[in-house]
Structure 1
Amino acid sequence: MSSIVVFGAGGTAGSRVTAEAVNRGHRVTAAVRRPEATSYLPTGVRVVTGDATSERSVRELAPEADVMVVAIGGDGHDLWQDAARTLVTTLRDLPEPPRIIHVGGGSTLLTPKGTPFLDEPDFPAEYRESAQGQAAALAYYRASGDGVTWTYVSPPPLEFHPGERTGHYRTGTDEPVTDDQGRSVLTYEDLAVAIVDEIENPRHENARFTAAY
């Protein structure tokens, strides 16, 4: 059993990671900005006020954690890189830092041309700034060096939505996992399965992975 802190546990991805982890018997602390709005989280989850971009929050929660999951959402460019920087610089100073699992963007995956989906001409303009922010977070982790262990998780770039938990998925690294029709599809529920599987059996330390059916 692991002790897991989930930043953004009230969101679409974070709530599913929280539920999956609790259902498997892990101890979960939900770190959210509005604890009063998380009544739908499973029984047994400890809910606290927390912010992945706050050194104080990270430092207070780190001693009780084996893993810190970053599943935050928001607008703008800097949020995800700020979270990555805060966790890396804060945890690096601790004698036994928890591992970081960062739920990132599928648009940072590579097209067959070897360029990120977010650089495609038809990429939706309203999502570009956030996508670039997630790309900056990935670049920051990759350049972070020793002292922390991280994993960046990318869902499919397009067909990613709430739905059924099947417990099945396939993994890849920097390119989308596709089926026989060339589609890359996954539900939030099965992304949560993949994340908790990675927590229980680490296979992508200091690396990015993606999952799809």
Structure 2
Amino acid sequence: MKKVALIGASGFIGSELVKELLTRGYQVTAIVRSAEKIKNNDKNLKVVSANVLDMDKLSEVLKSNDAVISAYNPGWTNPNIYDDTIKGYRSIIEAVKKSGIKRLQAVGGAGSLQVAPGKTVVDTGVIPDEILPAVKAMAQVLKDQFLPEKDLDWVFFSPAGTIEPGERTGKYRLGLDTLIADDQGNSKISVQDYAKAMVDELENPKHHQQRFTIGY
């Protein structure tokens, strides 16, 4: 049985990843700021409260796992979300390396996906101002932290433009750096299908040191 550490396990995407992993029989170490947010009593789930900025403690918590999935988000209402996202991922990447784990799969953002040559989703101006700092931060994390990283076998998994509750259909498309949209220009994915694809990638890795994306 594989052991997986999941950072940000109580969030919108993280909580769905917990369900998907447990359903498939994984042993999950859920790393969260507030342990009381997770009510699941599954015997294969261990909940640990930790601050991702404490790199040494985080690396200790990660040890003995086979892989790490990060759904880290410092909080949508956090006024310092841009800086904390960047600092948080710097700490996460270093902690994973220090723990000796090689595989890191990160829940990425859609803002840096291309919609035309040289033009990203952020460049289109469609992203609401209230979430723009977080979106820009994840784009910066990809550029400055993941893409230059050569020691870890990492992936940065960008969702579609809209990720929302829905069905686990198993019917979707995967791509690399270009936003996946339908014939009407809609770019969507359910959080259930996103979680399925993330764990599929964990079980059968097809992407290495690169970003990939998903959409219907």
**Alignment TM-score, normalising by the size of structure 2:** 0.89
Unaligned runs of 5+ in 1: none
- Asked if residue 90 in structure 1 is aligned to residue 98 in structure 2, the reply is no
CA shift in 2, pair 1:126/1:61, >3 Å: same
In the alignment, is the contact (CA less than 8 A) between 1:15 and 1:41 conserved in 2?
no
Aligned partner of 2:124: which letter? E
Offset at residue 42 of structure 1 (A)? 4.7
Task: Choose the corresponding residue for 2:84, options 79, 90, 94.
Answer: 79
Aligned position for 1:206? 209
Offset at residue 81 of structure 1 (A)? 2.2
Query: Which stretch of the first structure deviates more once superposed, 202-211 or 162-171?
Result: 162-171
Aligned position for 2:110? 106
After superposition, the C-alpha distances for 1:103-151 in whole angstroms (9 at most, x for unaligned) are 011112111243221122343221211111101111111012x221211
After superposition, the C-alpha distances for 1:65-94 in whole angstroms (9 at most, x for unaligned) are 111111122232123322321132233345
- Structure 1 segments (4+ residues) deviating >6 Å: none
Aligned partner of 1:186: which letter? I
Offset at residue 175 of structure 1 (A)? 0.7
Aligned position for 1:189? 192
How far apart, in 2, do the equivalents of 1:186 and 1:176 lie? 12
Aligned partner of 2:128: which letter? P
How far apart, in 2, do the equivalents of 1:111 and 1:82 lie? 28
Aligned partner of 1:132: which letter? K
**Alignment TM-score, normalising by the size of structure 1:** 0.90
Query: Which stretch of the first structure deviates more once superposed, 79-88 or 12-21?
Result: 79-88
How far apart, in 2, do the equivalents of 1:12 and 1:90 lie? 23
In the alignment, is the contact (CA less than 8 A) between 2:68 and 2:96 conserved in 1?
no
Aligned Cα RMSD in Å? 1.8
Aligned residue pairs: how many?
210
SS for the counterpart of 2:88 is helix
- Asked if residue 148 in structure 1 is aligned to residue 152 in structure 2, the reply is yes
Aligned position for 2:22? 22
How far apart, in 1, do the equivalents of 2:168 and 2:174 lie? 16
Aligned partner of 1:91: which letter? V
How far apart, in 1, do the equivalents of 2:214 and 2:204 lie? 15
Unaligned runs of 5+ in 2: none
After superposition, the C-alpha distances for 1:134-184 in whole angstroms (9 at most, x for unaligned) are 01111111012x221211011112x22111111222100111122333322
Task: Choose the corresponding residue for 1:161, options 164, 183, 186.
Answer: 164
